[in-house]
Amino acid sequence: MNEALKTIVKFLEQSGLQQSARKLKEEIIMMKNEIDCEKQQQQMLMNIICQALEQKKKEKKKPVIDRQAVRRKPKVFTQEQTEQIMEKLMNRLVSKPNLLEDETLNEKIERYFDNATFQKMVDQADVFHDISNTSISNSILKKKRTETSEEQQQAPCFGKCNEYKIQESDQIVFGKIQQPQQHQKQQVLEKSPSVDELFTEEDVSRSAAKHQQFEGIDTAKMPSIIRPESGCNDSSFFLQNSQSFVLHDMEENKNIIDEYNDDDDPGFDLYEVGEKDFIKVAKQLADKFGFPQRAIAQLKKKKDEVNCDNEDDSAVLLKSQQKSQEESRKGYIYLPPSLKHPDSTDDFYPVEFDRVIYDCFNLKVIFDRERTGFEETKDFPIVINSIIAGRYQILEYLGSAAFSKAVKCLDLQSQKEVCMKIIENNKDYMDQSIDEIKLLRYINCNGDCDAKNVLRLYDFFYHKEHLFLVTELLKDNLYEFYKYYREKEKVNYFTVGRLQKLTKQILIALDYIHSLKLIHCDLKPENILMRSISKCECKVIDFGSSCFIHDHLSSYVQSRSYRAPEVIIGCKYDYKIDMWSLGCILAELWTGYVLFQNDTVQGLLARVIGIIGPFPENMMKEGRLVNQFFTKEKLLYQDAMEDQQQHYPNPDMSDASVKRKKTGLIQILVPKKSNLKARLKTDDMFFLDFVKQLLHIDPSKRPSAKDALYHPWFTQAQYPDGL
């Protein structure tokens, strides 16, 4: 097989089909890695089985016992004796149900299922409660097993809970994490990989009554399982208050109803009324569906608080940040002196005057010495194999965006393949692109673009009435990539493990950008490009909409489907809007559907309220645009338009660019109830909790890019194709 594939690769290379040959090589490497991974898993399982058999031979032979006599007078085992007999087997079955793939070992293990002691332990064990009265067979266990090896996965755990420890003998046992001496030891329930299928509310209450270590422990006050390393801000809200994987969260998820019919459900029920009946009908619908309570989350004060200055609400932190920003805007905000700035190559600039630092950069204007006048057309002609500015040969047309086109070129000077971005002949587009050049130079000079996963700028110039940007050549963007795999390959490339890899790279890029006091402002799948498919590497691009944190922040930023709630309703915003966009991107890559798909801003808000939950009260009071979307009862409304379906070919298209005609009727949108777990359709509690943290409506509760890197999804969860 390998020889045949190599022969095909050589044939493609000889035929001049270099791109096809390169893609085939990447597929061969990926196939080889998967085969090697399977072999390692099989070898590891064989080692465990051999050790188990050797250990069994060394044990003393037990005398033959009359089974009838045992049934008449059963032997009473203490808890300690029972654990010594069955602990290893039970833990192996919980954490490694794929051990049963071996038929020889399977026959031996099935003998234990009829053992009275084993059945007794099954009845008493919390993690086996749901299957204690059924026959345990391969068909049941295979539904619950994971496809990862022993060294590549850890079961999710609650708080500072018992976790799997892999000892030198490859025997998995439940071990207790040793806490520092100054803290009291806390123990919590052991959790199986398929926790949503095994845990019930009855299990939790029964286990809490049985284990004394749970008596008097308030799960809401359990410490976070995130362990910050050196350099992480220990006082951050996320690290101190993230209550990932606590029991009450799981109980809440089970009580939430999913009213969506399918993934294409708009997410709301629509009621169309006339202007005269609008107020009356809005009040009736609000009373029927529980508004404004469903749209507004009122701030709760702690019972033991006496002084109102100690309120632990989301508004305090946000207001303090906004106050400091307002004060700093009164004068020029100097960037930290530790940050670098590209050389201006000018004798006078940079110069400081009136609390402003003026700087410059040179823009090359490339022209034909023997010609003058305007070009024949405003559109730049793209002809394959033609040479631009005497240096760049066009090899391939890559695609187009709102105000630019991208082509693959060969730099005749360096003999490197590059990407050339051709800006449309428009004053506003050119101004925005000059901003992007300025920011790319600033980003490139402060760090390693490859290590920080950001785009590298090679060259820029003005030629034939167009601005050109020359950058490194990357592969497809995430949107095109996941669409191709789902439509052509019928598989999802973005497994949880690969998403873990990509997300960490994106977070590193965002942390770097934010450290430069920049907000990306347009993070979406189209603006994240694959750098290597086989290695699952990516880079963040398109800084044309980016801005400094101290800039006058525009009310229109981000593509609509990835727009943060605080931006939509007109609140002040900061770096956290990029984190919201990242949460939307992860959900889309995993499911193949836009999480907050919409035709209007009101439709987007309906899905946000239905899936994530209500807005904090302080955001509703602060938002400048709240009255444009919400009634007095906090129901969503919009003007009915004629032929509305034809006016939205692109969900992210600006409302201002679409001509619509009002019908005189008003539409009231009532959000359908759903939840993040139902939309993501996953039982991976690490991944689900991570996305949930990014999609907090309250920006002060969202983690920063730096804090998010310490989430258990990165520090504890392991996957065969992950980190």
488 pLDDT tier (thresholds 50, 70, 90): confident
Domain-ending residue, one of 472, 489, 522: 472
Q: What is the pLDDT of residue 642?
A: 82
Average pLDDT score over residue span 110-118: 56
Shared domain check, 633 and 524? yes
Shared domain check, 386 and 273? no
Secondary structure (DSSP) of 19-87: HHHHHHHHHHHHHHHHHHHHHHHHHHHHHHHHHHHHHHHHSPPPPP--HHHHHHSPPPPPHHHHHHHHH
Shared domain check, 511 and 424? no
What distance lies between CA 201 and its chain's CA centroid? 29
pTM given for the model: 0.65
Average pLDDT score over residue span 643-667: 63
Count of alpha carbons within 13 angstroms of residue 397, beta-carbon side:
11
Shared domain check, 358 and 272? no
pLDDT of residue 272 exceeding 90: yes
Residue 345 lies in a domain: no
Average pLDDT score over residue span 138-152: 41
Residue 97 lies in a domain: yes
pLDDT of residue 171 exceeding 50: no
Report the CATH number at residue 466.
3.30.200.20
Report the CATH number at residue 641.
1.10.510.10
- Catalytic (active-site) positions: 522
Give me the phi and psi of 460, to 5 degrees please.
-155, 145
Higher pLDDT, 44 or 434: 434
Nearest to 474 by CA among 457, 499, 491, 493: 457
Secondary structure (DSSP) of 579-599: HHHHHHHHHHHHHSS-TT--S
Q: Which of 126-130, 164-168, 313-317 has the lowest mean pLDDT?
A: 164-168
Shared domain check, 183 and 119? yes
Residue 251 lies in a domain: no
Q: What is the mean pLDDT of the chain?
A: 76
Domain count, the chain: 4
Shared domain check, 379 and 466? yes
For residue 566, the enclosing domain spans 268-298+476-715
Task: Give residue for tokens 């379906």.
Answer: 645
Q: What is the pLDDT of residue 63?
A: 53
Radius of gyration in angstroms for the set of CA atoms belonging to the chain, rounded to a whole number: 30
Q: Where are the alpha helices (DSSP H) in 224-333?
A: 237-241, 247-255, 278-289, 314-329
Shared domain check, 708 and 598? yes
Distance CA 721, CA 723 (A): 7
Residue 234 lies in a domain: no
Domain-ending residue, one of 438, 472, 506: 472
Q: What is the pLDDT of residue 607?
A: 96
Distance CA 337, CA 356 (A): 14
Q: Above pLDDT 70, what percent of the chain?
A: 65
Shared domain check, 626 and 689? yes
pLDDT of residue 135 exceeding 50: no
pLDDT of residue 385 exceeding 90: yes
3 state SS of 324: helix
Q: What is the pLDDT of residue 270?
A: 94
pLDDT of residue 230 exceeding 50: no
Residue 333 lies in a domain: no
The size of the chain, in residues, is 723
Average pLDDT score over residue span 128-151: 40
Q: What is the pLDDT of residue 92?
A: 56
Residue 86 lies in a domain: yes
Shared domain check, 23 and 155? no
- Among the ranges 47-56, 88-97, 692-701, which has the highest mean pLDDT value? 692-701
H/E run at residue 423: strand 416-423
199 pLDDT tier (thresholds 50, 70, 90): very low
